[in-house]
Structure 1
Amino acid sequence: MALSIVTSSITDGIPQFADPEIDDGPAWLSSLRHHPLFSELSSDDFRALCQRIRRIDMDNHELLYRQDTEAQHFYFVVSGRLRLYRLDYSGLERTLDSVAAGDCVAEVMIYANPARYACYAESLKRSVILSIPIQAYRALIKAHPDYAEKALAHYAARAVSRFHDLEIMTVQSARDRLIRYLLDLLPEGAQGDTEIELPLPKCLIASRLAMQPETFSRQLNELKNNGLVRVTGARLRVPDVYRLKQFGC
């Protein structure tokens, strides 16, 4: 299947589309096809939607979209990572989440009316992003209610995850918030010695957990001094998951 997808040039920090042909379609097609929002589409519908998809190549610290602007697209992360953040009343950035390869961002805008982005999305590293027109996807789910059912199931799973995030933020102890956050990063069922990569720089994790950077550093050092974690750059090792859980009780 021949697809016309495009790379981006950058103007004022926001990717703008150019239109050179590229030949790596199959790699991102496979990744996109396995996402719940696309896995149930028929071959013909998926092919037709792909004709509307455009590719954006982002460098580090570029904006994909801005808070409170009109949403005409949602996005799929092929590679790299995005940070989602809002500006509070004082103009400070508050990190909400990060989005890794294989996941969508701003897909809730499919059902929003009016559709306006709720936050900023910024690349944390060189990233490849696919831009999907909201109207094109809306037309598909309007014509095929079974697609809408799959999309709603995806949103329900996201809502459960968001409630869990809110639960973490209600924990009063900064130490316990950090422990809960780290435990959530571990693979499901992890028990023994486990190593992970932190999804955000430490200063942004602090913002995500509503901590000052110095508070985050102090709490992380406490975990290190108790032998509960070992940190090397962005790599974090948990020698004993059970001990870390008990320390947070």
Structure 2
Amino acid sequence: MNIDIRMAHLFSALDDDQVRQVMESSHTGTLKDGESLFETGDEANRFFLVIGGQIKLFRVSSNGDQKIIDIIQPGNTFAEALMFMEHPIYPVSAEALGPAKVISFDNRRFLQILSGSIEVCFRIMGTMSQRLRGLIKEIDDLTLQSATTRLCALLLHRMEDVGQDHFTLPAAKGVLAARLSMKPETFSRILQNLSTKNILKTKSNEIQVLDENLLRSLAHLESIYGLEPEKPCALKGQNISIDLN
């Protein structure tokens, strides 16, 4: 399997020589379900690109409860903002949701490339700005929006992402419930209510939207999932690529 890293937004401004330099210090790793990539407090000298499966970012409270901060999908990078800190440490833990594959990149090497490319600097600034907007919006939604609104927004985003009204949930229900700051039973109850009202049909992790207009109304259109996602990294050999077999 070949992957062109320039299909990920962060790397899209790199020229052939810069891609070669980035890949020289990269490492590709495969993780099993539940396997840890790093833990809160670990030294953060690398950032990552997901090229298969999903990576869960989370924190654990003093009483042992796990708060899911984000679920990183294929084609997206994470932890790159930490390279600008003097003594960076990971503020969250990361582990695989099912089998996953990632490429890790050396912070120092990438900073050297940034120092010689204003365009790449603006790319990474744009990526961090977008994520900051998303976090601010998430705080607003978790504070002001109901559990039903948050779940409907997730379903709407998923439907638009796959381009059809029948889709599979992007992760296990318990994981998604934690991501939306609700209990698993609340998540299931809302799905059942939406099904009873003929807004959607559910079967295990399969969803079919029956009334898109009403789903949009319940999602209030404005939500944590209202921002455009980064374009996924295409798994095909174009330009400079790396063989992951």
What SS does structure 2 have at the residue aligned with 1:154? helix
Aligned to 2:32: 59
| Structure 2 counterparts to residues 151-166 of structure 1, below 5 A | 151-166=124-139
Aligned to 2:95: 122
CA displacement at 1:248 relative to structure 2? 4.9
Give 2:181's aligned amino acid: A
Question: TM-score if structure 2 supplies the norm length?
Answer: 0.83
Give 1:63's aligned amino acid: S
| Structure 2 counterparts to residues 40-59 of structure 1, below 5 A | 40-59=13-32
- Looking at structure 2, the residues matched to 82 and 211 of structure 1 have their Cα atoms a distance apart, in angstroms, of 20
Q: Say whether 1:90 aligns with 2:48.
A: no
- Looking at structure 2, the residues matched to 171 and 237 of structure 1 have their Cα atoms a distance apart, in angstroms, of 27
Give 2:185's aligned amino acid: E
CA displacement at 1:87 relative to structure 2? 0.6
Percent identical pairs in the alignment equals 24
Moved over 3 A (4+): none
Aligned to 2:72: 99
What SS does structure 1 have at the residue aligned with 2:71? strand
Aligned to 1:183: 156
Aligned to 2:186: 215
Aligned to 1:5: none
CA displacement at 1:110 relative to structure 2? 2.2
| 1:50 to 1:189, Cα distance in 2 relative to 1, 3 A | closer
| Structure 2 counterparts to residues 2-21 of structure 1, below 5 A | none
- Looking at structure 2, the residues matched to 115 and 248 of structure 1 have their Cα atoms a distance apart, in angstroms, of 37
Greater relative contact order, per chain length (Cα 8 Å cut-off, separation 6+):
2
**Contact 1:171 1:177 survives alignment (8 Å):** no
CA displacement at 1:184 relative to structure 2? 2.8
- Looking at structure 2, the residues matched to 189 and 86 of structure 1 have their Cα atoms a distance apart, in angstroms, of 29
What SS does structure 2 have at the residue aligned with 1:102? coil
Give 2:183's aligned amino acid: Q
Match of 1:235 among 197, 206, 219: 206
Q: Say whether 1:173 aligns with 2:155.
A: no
- Looking at structure 2, the residues matched to 50 and 58 of structure 1 have their Cα atoms a distance apart, in angstroms, of 20
Aligned to 1:18: none
CA displacement at 1:156 relative to structure 2? 1.6
- Deviation track 1:22-43 (CA, whole Å, cap 9, x = no partner) reads xx5xx12x1x121122111121
What CA RMSD, in Å, does the superposition of the two structures yield over aligned residues?
2.0
**Contact 1:98 1:199 survives alignment (8 Å):** no
- Looking at structure 1, the residues matched to 137 and 157 of structure 2 have their Cα atoms a distance apart, in angstroms, of 10
Match of 2:175 among 179, 186, 204: 204
- Looking at structure 1, the residues matched to 19 and 10 of structure 2 have their Cα atoms a distance apart, in angstroms, of 11
CA displacement at 1:73 relative to structure 2? 0.5
- Looking at structure 2, the residues matched to 216 and 226 of structure 1 have their Cα atoms a distance apart, in angstroms, of 16
CA displacement at 1:146 relative to structure 2? 2.4
**Contact 1:81 1:98 survives alignment (8 Å):** yes
Question: TM-score if structure 1 supplies the norm length?
Answer: 0.81
Q: Which consecutive unaligned segments of at least 5 residues does structure 1 have?
A: 1-23
- Deviation track 1:60-88 (CA, whole Å, cap 9, x = no partner) reads 11011101211011011111111111111
